[in-house]
Structures are given as structure tokens and as C-alpha cells.
Amino acid sequence: VQLQASGGGLVQPGGSLRLSCVASSGFSLEHYAIGWFRQAPGKEREGVSTISIIDDHTYYTNSVQGRFTTSRDNAKNTVYLHMNSLKPQDTAVYYCAHGGSTDALLRLWVFPNEYDWGQGTQVTVSS
């Protein structure tokens, strides 16, 4: 199954966006750890955040710590990435991925080619 990210757009520096991650019908995100990733032009895909399965423990890369928050809404089968205080360097295509554990997602931070990526969403931070 491929996960689809949406909610991107053009925002001024200091602004906010909320991205959504959904799966195809019948696939429950509740039973998986979910990670957010991004890829800026000319750069490698990088991990942004993860949210665990059982206790929704979250982990963030240093550059977004304190500005981004990941959460789940199991009733809507959706995982969100709330992005605040956006900076031009946050400009990228954002993707989401699922894994059997947080460790599995953190492996994708190192080996992103091991995952079948779905559609990402463009986030552009510019004045």
C-alpha cells in the first residue's frame, strides 16, 4: 500500500501548515508507526518525524524540534504533521511512510530507497 500526503502549499516565513497522511481504503494506519519525510530540490530525502504505534511517542529531527508536531486521528485514519514557524529551508516535497515500528522508520532515514513511496505534497515557504 502507498500512503498519500496532502495539505501543502505556499506560505510566508513564520506561517503554519497542516499536512495529512492517508492510506487506501481498508488499510488502517492505527496499527503502524508513521513517519514524515521531505526532499528538497537537489537534496536527499530526509526524515522529519515519527510517531509510534502504541503510545504515540513522537521523535523529531533537530531542525524541526519545537516547531513541528505529529499526531494521529484514528477515527479519521489520518496522521498529521502540524508545521509552525515555517522557514524557507523547510521548502520541500513532504511524504509519509508506514512501518512496523519506529525503528523500521528510522531505518528509512538512512535507506529511503527501501520504501515504495506514494504521492508527496509540495510545501513552499517564501515571501
Q: What is the mean pLDDT of residues 94-102?
A: 95
pLDDT digits (tens, 9 = 90+) for 35-62: 999 999 999 999 999 999 988 899 999 9
Picking from 76, 96, 118, the residue whose alpha carbon sits closest to that of residue 36 is 96
Q: And the C-alpha cell for 58?
A: 513522537
Distance CA 61, CA 47 (A): 7
Return the pLDDT at 96: 97
31: exposed, middle or buried (C-beta count within 10 Å: 0-12, 13-18, 19+)?
exposed
β-strands 78-83, 17-22 pairing: antiparallel
Mean pLDDT of 21-45: 92
